[in-house]
Structure 1
């Protein structure tokens, strides 16, 4: 049985935006097993300085990530697309075990197979320290980001 994850390439602007929002919603679930299913079984990743491949490695990476990044909230925004590739920019906020808050800014380049599963993910990310009062991402973590919550562009990020 072949796995599919619509929308499928080749992407239009509308389907690329839907793909980006689906990825955002998945990552905001902070569920490593669920998130890993959006990737091919042999998906190749570069995340900051880590390079790995395969769903088990994705699950292990995300498990480590979300055990350190508390109150994680992410916003992704389409940057560009073509055929089977999408580029996004994103920002997320979290606090560490000491209660110190951060906002991470980054860009990702994605490549998909014909079934809509991501086979390549390259992520470049930088963190800045923020105060709790500087946080901009406020929504109930039990739900996806509300449709009326400001985007990265709306927030001038």
Structure 2
């Protein structure tokens, strides 16, 4: 019998891993922004480059989060299961990436409009990127967990009660 809807839960080390990943990506994007900001690239072209990289990082983070959430669920409830990135998972990830990216752009715009100096602009850029990346990873983790909960069967009644 299948026991659906197991609650999404991460261990403290998994939570720290998510936060560390978000911080590392934000710092890497911040360094890239500093490097590109000191070049002679047109500001409009630079904004398009930032948006493209921002969307790419959001997509990669959500995709990795989906895989990690699926494998966390499988490791806990069905260790012999293999991860398969199906068409429905691809479409689910695509829609979630678009939603997180769009919401992230709104949050970034609101935060960056609060900047009064170059330093505050840089700090708020770092904060907005970290927020969006951690959100994308968390949304992916939850989506992967829920997808695994719906896909995998549990034949062991003893495991279902734990």
TM over 0.5: no
Higher strand share: 1
Shorter-chain TM-score bucket reads under 0.3
Scaled by the length of structure 2, the TM-score of the pair is: 0.27
Higher relative contact order (CA 8 A, sep 6+): 2
Q: Output the TM-score relative to the length of structure 1.
A: 0.27
